[in-house]
Structure 1
Amino acid sequence: KNGGKGLYATDSDFPIEQSELLFIGNGLGNKTSSQNEYTSTLASFFGRVNYDFKEKYYLSGTLRRDGSSRFIGDNKWGTFYSISAGWLLKQEAFLKDVSWLENLKLRAGYGAIGNQEIGLYAYSDRISPYFDYPFGNVSNSGYAQTALGNEDLKWETSFQYNAGIDAEIWKGALAFSVDYFYKVTEDMLVKAPNPPSVGYAESAWINSGSVMNTGIELEANYRHNKKDWGYTIGGNLTFLKNEVLKLDAPLFGGLVESGIYATRTEVGQPIGSFYLLEMEGIFQNQTEILLSAFQGNTIKPGDVKFKDQNGDGRIDNLDRIHMGSAIPKIIGGLNLSAYYKNFDLNVFFQGAYGNKIYVQVNQDIEGFYRGFTVTQRYFDERWTGEGSSNTQPRPSWTSKSNNARPSSRFLEDGSYIRLKNLQLGYTIPEKILAMAGVSKTRLYVSGTNLLTLTKFTGLDPEMTVSDNSKNEGDRSAGIDWGTYPSAMTIMFGIDITF
């Protein structure tokens, strides 16, 4: 259980600005005060049973009952469980004497877990006093509804199946594992879109739909050690598929233009799927404009050409299509640790493949929403006449309503490989330090984000920004609003042990 109370007050226009006299009430200006109080409680009961038969067959089961104050009535409590089994094949007679096989194990499991991560008091409508209502020529203080509640909220539940194999060979020098997982999340806790008639109030949390995550995880490590040198190399790969299985109505995320969102989450697509117009190129002449789908009366040579997806002869929001999401298809990492006498080296690479990034900051800059300040890429590739460019439109302050429309023009491949960490160290021999009373001294130099291989033209492909102020979560992930990038750092240090 946790909670708190807060009291806030302001005052201004103090006649004497001395710190010992700056008390609330001494000022001559307007005074304000407010207070709040909150409480959050989570109660859990659980039990676990483990069974081992002949050190070859293993069973494990858990059962838990969780109660949360974020729900009310019969929905406060949820029941969750898991069961797993393992078979240590190495202990079987047909493998026990295989000398090169150190360990071999099969395992499988199934379970359900709950999620209660919503705001406090989401079940209740909320009002605020900080609103003024005009009556005639007089402004009067009043209250207004600022958030919609939902008394029917309940636990979000994820059901997961998994199966895998673990193996070690050559006296443990090589170890690897393979895991398959299938996870379905039901009664997802999401923000419901408000109709325009609702007005100012924040939308309500609801339980809606289900989503699937399935894939394979691979991990392997190899070590080789001698007297004066050795190394360990390891890596992991995750192949992932995300798909919405059920949803009452499409959910949108990433408001990149007035009334237009960059993503659309719906059945059959991943969460936060980019939903955009497809850019076909640049209109090179008036004839090409006349032979293409109608985009507006002001279109001129040098403007962006969009694809007519539904063949109705005009470009509008009905021509938007799904174009991938911020969720990578493959995630991986590679690490290397090595030593030679007193030198040691640690290297870590990480990467992702198959994810998209919508560069909203380019939509702003290259769309002339910030005046005539543009990127170097736009300046170099801009259209200046027939045949000069098929990637960047003509410079125009008045054509941004067409050229800066949310489209594949601003969507980029977010795949990358990055040298995330590197450290080289040297340990000074003990005999040199003995007279100084020091038992160990290690000098090192380390760096982070030293090298990135990517086609992404923005500042940082590792960004995973979500517009959390609107509780959109993954529905607005992968939108680059000009996020400050991960810094490249180089450090020198010394570790001394006495």
Structure 2
Amino acid sequence: MAEKHNFATVVGYNQEQTKYNQITNTFRKLISPDIQNPDAAEDPSLHTVSRNAYTLAGRALFGRVSYNFAEKYFVESNLRYDGSAKFTEKDRFVTFPSFSAGWRISQENFMAGTKSWLNELKLRGSWGKLGNQPSSIYPYQATMNTGKAPYLINGQQIVYIDPPGLVSPYLTFEKARTWNVGFDGTFLKNRLDVTFEYYNRKTTDILTDGSASFPTTLGTAAPLENSGILETKGFELSFLWKQTINADLRYRVGLNLSDYLTKVQHYAANTSMMITNSSGREVMYDGKTIGEIWGYRTGGILQESDFAGRNPSNGNWIYNGAYQGTLYPGYIWYQDLGGPEGIPDGKIDAGLNTLANPGDRVVIGNSTPRYRFGITGNVQYKHFDLDFLFQGVLKRDIWAGLSSYWGGGAGSKWMYERSWTPDRTDAAFPMYGSSVNVQDRYLINGAYLRLKQAVLGYTLPQEMTKRFGVERLRFTLAGYNIFELTKIPTIFDVDQISADYPQKRSIAFGAQIVF
């Protein structure tokens, strides 16, 4: 009976320290560029010296205890005690525990009747907590920078010292608690593998700037704070089917699907429930779904007939905050959804920029990629083999607010050919280069299916290659980003909606020789 009990334990200690020191010397007006000597200068007083130095340190004590009985019941416990020099002494060390358990239910006697179709089934679950640190070096210290002013007083440049920035004296680790349940199964004489996992992650003490808590007249950067609670729910599902037909043909096909959605349960730094901060960047607020896209409802494209009897220089008959300036035929107009009471108020604006008074803006979509999937496959027939990978997203909204897309600078031919002109008043897009705000009409459906990779190979028979002293000779033809099924404009790469990442496809031919 004792041999059925299996214990394992691990105890460890980790300590890290990083010291960085950089000194930069700048020499100006050297007599000769070939003489790199600070004395060989017309005016040595112009030389400058700058220094950058910091020290980072971390320490951790960790341990693990695991137990299983008869390779049927599994329990494991982990404990970490982490410390970081990025926090004050009183908030420097935090304990992070985790637990997991598994049950190979297929090994139970009452499952004996399933052996004809069930090879393996394991139920599992876990709970654990981990911590994250800020990327900044000294986030809890109010540092000051020095420099020389760009003007002279009594013929001398004045050295200045910046006032210290704002810091929070209560910074500590960002904490992520996660629990999950799932199963791993093998069916039909080991031909089908299925894995499923559902998880729930709650992140507390979120490390974020507190810009929503301070007025625009603050005069300095908002401090980093532990503020708010995020909750993420998601799942991962995968299938793998593998089969050997005969000695010449075998194949395997896999499918994986995952999804998640994150919501803000609480964000203490935004008590006024602002939608964007003073820089126009969206911020978190209680109840927010991460990835929300706020925008206007599109009314259409202005035509010349819309200006009959109106002064085109007075844009306030359609716009108040969304667009200020002269309107022209070919410009977009937006729907007047009204003020806080929902009654049209004759103007288009962002209201008070709060959840209670967003003006004419509403949530028009979500940029989070939903239902990501991948399809992998391998087919081998005699001396031929084929590997392929499809990937894609089933649901996603994209707002492409790039000047390279809309025009106004280095625009695109794709957009120019689809933009409004006096001779093309039924065009899908407004006048090329006109001001365009975030709106529902021009949200891009970001769903796609892409053949990411396909590799076709052929291996010459050994009885042929050995005549030339070659053990193995294999030729391959590979293609990458071969094609997509999508509504995303072809000027964008479906994975990177950016002007910096244009669509790219490639084909490669190769050979592998083993002597």
TM-score, normalized by length of structure 1? 0.85
Whether the aligned pair in 2 keeps the contact of 1:131 and 1:144 (CA below 8 Å) is: no
Per the alignment, residue 276 of structure 1 pairs with: 295
Per the alignment, residue 451 of structure 1 pairs with: 483
Q: Deviations over 1:368-417 (max 9, x none)?
A: 3x2xx643344333333599236423457xxx4xx323434653222221
Per the alignment, residue 204 of structure 2 pairs with: 186
Structure with larger Rg: 2
Q: Deviations over 1:193-212 (max 9, x none)?
A: 1533333x443211111111
Q: Which amino acid aligns with 1:116?
A: Q
Is structure 2 residue 334 aligned with structure 1 residue 306?
yes
- Range with greater deviation from structure 2 (350-359 or 145-154): 145-154
Q: Distance in 1 between matches of 2:187 and 2:438?
A: 53
Per the alignment, residue 12 of structure 2 pairs with: none
Q: Deviations over 1:319-377 (max 9, x none)?
A: 22223333112111110011111111110111113222221224x66353x2xx64334
Whether the aligned pair in 1 keeps the contact of 2:230 and 2:263 (CA below 8 Å) is: yes
Shift of 1:160: 1.0
Whether the aligned pair in 2 keeps the contact of 1:133 and 1:142 (CA below 8 Å) is: no
State how 1:143-154 maps to structure 2 within 5 Å: 143-145=161-163, 147-154=165-172
Shift of 1:269: 2.3
What is the SS of the residue equivalent to 2:402? helix
Shift of 1:108: 1.2
What is the SS of the residue equivalent to 1:180? strand
Shift of 1:15: 2.1
Shift of 1:315: 0.3
Q: Distance in 2 between matches of 1:428 and 1:32?
A: 66
Q: Distance in 1 between matches of 2:297 and 2:308?
A: 17
Which is bigger in relative contact order (C-alpha 8 A, separation at least 6)?
1
Q: Which amino acid aligns with 2:58?
A: L
- Range with greater deviation from structure 2 (273-282 or 180-189): 273-282
Seen in structure 2, the aligned counterparts of structure 1 residues 231 and 246 have a Cα distance that, compared at 3 Å, is same
Q: Which amino acid aligns with 2:406?
A: E
Q: Distance in 2 between matches of 1:204 and 1:275?
A: 26
Per the alignment, residue 232 of structure 1 pairs with: 252
What is the SS of the residue equivalent to 1:431? helix
Per the alignment, residue 69 of structure 2 pairs with: 53
State how 1:156-195 maps to structure 2 within 5 Å: 156-193=174-211, 195=215
Q: Deviations over 1:229-277 (max 9, x none)?
A: 2111001001222211111215777x9xxx6636443222222422222
Q: Distance in 1 between matches of 2:274 and 2:506?
A: 39
Q: Distance in 1 between matches of 2:503 and 2:138?
A: 36
What is the SS of the residue equivalent to 2:145? strand
Q: Distance in 2 between matches of 1:247 and 1:43?
A: 30
Q: Which amino acid aligns with 2:416?
A: F
Shift of 1:133: 6.8
**Coordinate RMSD, CA, aligned:** 2.8
What is the SS of the residue equivalent to 2:162? strand
Q: Distance in 2 between matches of 1:289 and 1:68?
A: 69
Whether the aligned pair in 1 keeps the contact of 2:492 and 2:498 (CA below 8 Å) is: no
Seen in structure 2, the aligned counterparts of structure 1 residues 7 and 294 have a Cα distance that, compared at 3 Å, is closer
Shift of 1:426: 1.4
Shift of 1:69: 1.2
Q: Distance in 2 between matches of 1:202 and 1:24?
A: 38
Per the alignment, residue 473 of structure 1 pairs with: none
Is structure 2 residue 430 aligned with structure 1 residue 393?
yes
Q: Distance in 2 between matches of 1:289 and 1:47?
A: 79
- Range with greater deviation from structure 2 (451-460 or 269-278): 269-278
1:70 to 80, 86, 95: 86
1:462 to 495, 501, 507: 495
Is structure 2 residue 378 aligned with structure 1 residue 330?
no
Per the alignment, residue 119 of structure 1 pairs with: 136
Q: Distance in 2 between matches of 1:288 and 1:113?
A: 64
Is structure 2 residue 458 aligned with structure 1 residue 426?
yes
Shift of 1:281: 1.3
Q: Distance in 2 between matches of 1:53 and 1:196?
A: 62
> Any runs of at least 4 consecutive aligned residues in structure 1 with deviations exceeding 6 A, and if so which?
135-138, 287-292
Shift of 1:432: 2.2
What is the SS of the residue equivalent to 2:483? strand
Q: Which amino acid aligns with 1:441?
A: L
> Structure 2: any 5+ residue segments left out of the alignment?
1-15, 311-315, 339-343, 351-358
Q: Deviations over 1:15-58 (max 9, x none)?
A: 2232xx22344333632211122222221111111121233221
Seq. identity, %: 28
**How many corresponding residue pairs?**
466
Is structure 2 residue 53 aligned with structure 1 residue 37?
yes
